[in-house]
A and B are shown apart, each in its own frame.
Chain A
Amino acid sequence: MKPPPFHYHAPHTLQDALAIVGEHDNTRLLAGGQSLMPMLNMRLLSPDHLVDINRIPELAGIREDRGGIVIGAMTRQRDIEFSPLIRERLPLLAEAITLVGHRQTRNRGTIGGSICHLDPSAEQPAVAMAMDATLTVASQRGVREIAMRDFALGLMTTALDDNEILTSIRIEPWRSGHGWAFIEYARRHGDFAIVSVAVLLELDAASKVVRVALTLGGVCPVPLRLREAEKQLLGSALTSANVAKVAEQCAGIDALDDPQVPRWYRRRVAATLLPRAIAIAAERARARDGDS
Chain B
Amino acid sequence: MNGGEKMISVTVNGQAFTRPVSSRRLLADFLRHDLALTGTHLGCEHGVCGACTVLVDGVSARSCLMLAVQTNGCRIDTVEGLAPDSGDGEAMHPLQEAFWSRHGLQCGFCTPGILMSLVELLRDVEAPTEEQVRLVLSGHLCRCTGYQNIVAAALEAARSMSKQAR
Q: Which residues of A contact B (CB under 8 A)?
A: 1-8, 10, 30, 33-34, 37-38, 40-42, 48, 50, 52, 54, 78, 101-105, 107-108, 188-190
Contact = CB atoms under 8 A, between A and B. Distances in A.
Contacts of A7: 1, 3-4, 23
Interface residues of B, number: 32
Closest 8 CB pairs of A and B: A102-B139, A38-B46, A8-B23, A37-B65, A5-B3, A3-B24, A107-B59, A104-B139
Contacts, number: 100
B109 to A, nearest CB: 17
19 contacts: A2-B26, A2-B29, A5-B23, A6-B1, A6-B23, A6-B24, A8-B6, A8-B69, A30-B67, A40-B24, A41-B64, A48-B1, A50-B23, A52-B70, A101-B139, A107-B61, A188-B138, A189-B138, A190-B138
Contacts of A1: 45
B26 A105 contact: no
Contacts of A37: 46-47, 64-67
Contacts of A41: 26, 45-46, 64-65
Given A5-B3, A7-B1, A38 B23 contact: no
A3 B26 contact: yes
B96 interface: no
Contacts of B50: 102, 104
Interface of B: 1-4, 6, 22-24, 26, 29, 45-47, 50, 53, 59-62, 64-67, 69-70, 117, 120-121, 135-136, 138-139
Contacts of A105: 47, 62, 65, 139
Given A41-B45, A101-B139, A103-B139, 20 more contacts: A1-B45, A4-B24, A6-B23, A7-B1, A7-B3, A8-B23, A8-B69, A10-B69, A40-B24, A48-B1, A54-B70, A102-B50, A102-B136, A102-B139, A103-B117, A103-B135, A103-B136, A104-B117, A107-B59, A108-B65
A188 B45 CA distance: 20
Nearest to B121: A103
Contacts of B22: 5
Contact of B53 (A42, A101, A104): A104
Nearest to B26: A2
Contacts of A189: 135, 138
Contact of B67 (A8, A42, A188): A8
B135 A108 contact: no
Contacts of B59: 78, 107
Contact of B60 (A4, A48, A104): A104
A156 to B, nearest CB: 17
Contacts of A10: 69-70
Contact of B24 (A5, A78, A107): A5
B29 A104 contact: no
Nearest to A190: B138
B111 to A, nearest CB: 15
A108 B46 contact: no
Contacts of B4: 7-8
Contact of A34 (B45, B47, B70): B47
Given A7-B3, A52-B70, A104 B62 contact: yes
Nearest to B60: A104
Contacts of A4: 24
Contacts of B53: 104
Contacts of A104: 50, 53, 60-62, 117, 139
A41 B47 CA distance: 10
Contacts of B66: 33, 37, 108
B128 to A, nearest CB: 12
Given A8-B67, A37-B65, A38-B47, A102 B6 contact: no
Contacts of A3: 24, 26, 67
Contacts of A190: 138-139
B79 to A, nearest CB: 15
Contacts of A30: 67, 70
Nearest to B3: A5
A41 B62 CA distance: 13
